Chains A and B, each alone.
Chain A
Amino acid sequence: MTANPRSDTIAVFGAGVMGRSITALALGRGVDVVLVDVSDDVLRAAEADIAQQLRHGRFMGAFPDSQATGTLTTTLSGEAAADATAVVEAITEDSSLKARTLAEVSGVVAPGTTLITNTSGIPIDELAKSVRRPAELAGVHFMNPAYLIEMVEVIRGPQTAEDTVAAVFSLLGRLGKKAVVVHDAPGFVTSRLLHPMINEAARIVAEGTASVESVDRLMQGCLGHPTGPLRTADLIGLDNLADALRLLAERTGNTAFAPCDLLREKVRRGDLGRKTGRGFYDYEGVLS
């Protein structure tokens, strides 16, 4: 591949729940994607999933009709990100793993390449310590499924440059997203509110106050929540949720944010939500 100053390629690190749906979003909007993961099996599964998500997006009218689909390249090599105009880091919610990967990425890409982390709540400034040019790092918190949810949370770290924010907005415009910019803090806005709510919802179920269905139906019917917190939890992935809650508890000092027993129990059993076919609900093996 030759370096192309007008290349229209983004690199996505992590081909899990979010890496897949961000990739589908970009492809559906005509942006080429290099998708990087550490597991070949994960990449194979991701290719099939992304094809399905592109259909889903079209089905729901999420992509412009006339838009040609971008090209997908999957690889185990992080070096493949070298020519990307922007990199989206969407690997496991683990601060040392992210620090290592971001350090690596920042050594591979050219100065001026926008670095985006999709972390659910690790402060951007904490991650900025591991990159060569902290001014070029910003948080963009896409929600799952990224190709259907129009709004994203953009996090401007204390070191994030104005140019970087502008570049993020130009990419998000290209992807058809609306954004709200917030300052840096553990969990930002959305995870700080949503994750503890899901944790409490699980506690309510464990205490026997109400069933999973009842909790979701009340939050939908009375409070206008689109799916209910526990169905949302299954969509997020309970392992990721537990990781994010643990990080939130550590960084805020609020121990009530630590993942509750029921959540940890489900993760231990491998009932991780939609991605494994069972979480708070049973998806009868239908993976989506």
Chain B
Amino acid sequence: MSAEQAITAERIEQGIAGFVSGRVNAEVPADQDLFASGLVSSMFAMELVVHLEQAFSVQILGDDLKRDNFRTVAAMTALVLRLRDAGQPADA
């Protein structure tokens, strides 16, 4: 990972962690299992999907739309990074 990529990953992770902790009213470590801890309700799970799509200009489709990809802040960050790399939007 280049320094620039590392900064991007960190920024994405912070963005996601900020969104999640704002909504659940608690600090959320990047590796905490959000489903197991009951922090994420079924409604909020879908908001997460929509939020990631809007905030990072990605589309989460088909097989990517599975709970394991949303289980932790770290997993969501990895998903966003992978989709951004695959899509390479014009402003990347």
Contacts and interface: CB of A to CB of B under 8 A. Distances in A.
A52 B54 CA distance: 13
Contact of A286 (B42, B45, B51, B66): B51
B25 A55 contact: no
A148 B42 contact: yes
A58 interface: yes
B36 to A, nearest CB: 16
Interface string B36-66: 0000011101110111000000000000011
A288 B47 contact: yes
Nearest to B54: A286
A227 B47 contact: no
**DSSP majority for the B interface?**
helix
A145 B51 CA distance: 19
Given A227-B41, A235-B43, A288-B43, A59 B25 contact: no
A1 to B, nearest CB: 32
Contacts of A286: 47, 50-51
A59 B50 contact: no
A176 to B, nearest CB: 16
B59 to A, nearest CB: 11
Interface in A192-239: 213, 226-227, 235
A286 B22 CA distance: 13
B47 A59 contact: no
Contacts of B67: 59-60
A59 B25 CA distance: 24
Nearest to B41: A227
Contacts of B43: 145, 235, 274, 288
B51 A59 contact: no
B53 to A, nearest CB: 10
A213 B24 CA distance: 11
A52 B26 CA distance: 27
Contacts of B51: 286
A56 interface: yes
Nearest to A281: B23
A17 to B, nearest CB: 12
B45 to A, nearest CB: 7
Contacts of A283: 47
Contacts of A284: 22-23
Closest 8 CB pairs of A and B: A56-B46, A286-B47, A59-B65, A288-B47, A288-B46, A60-B42, A148-B42, A288-B43
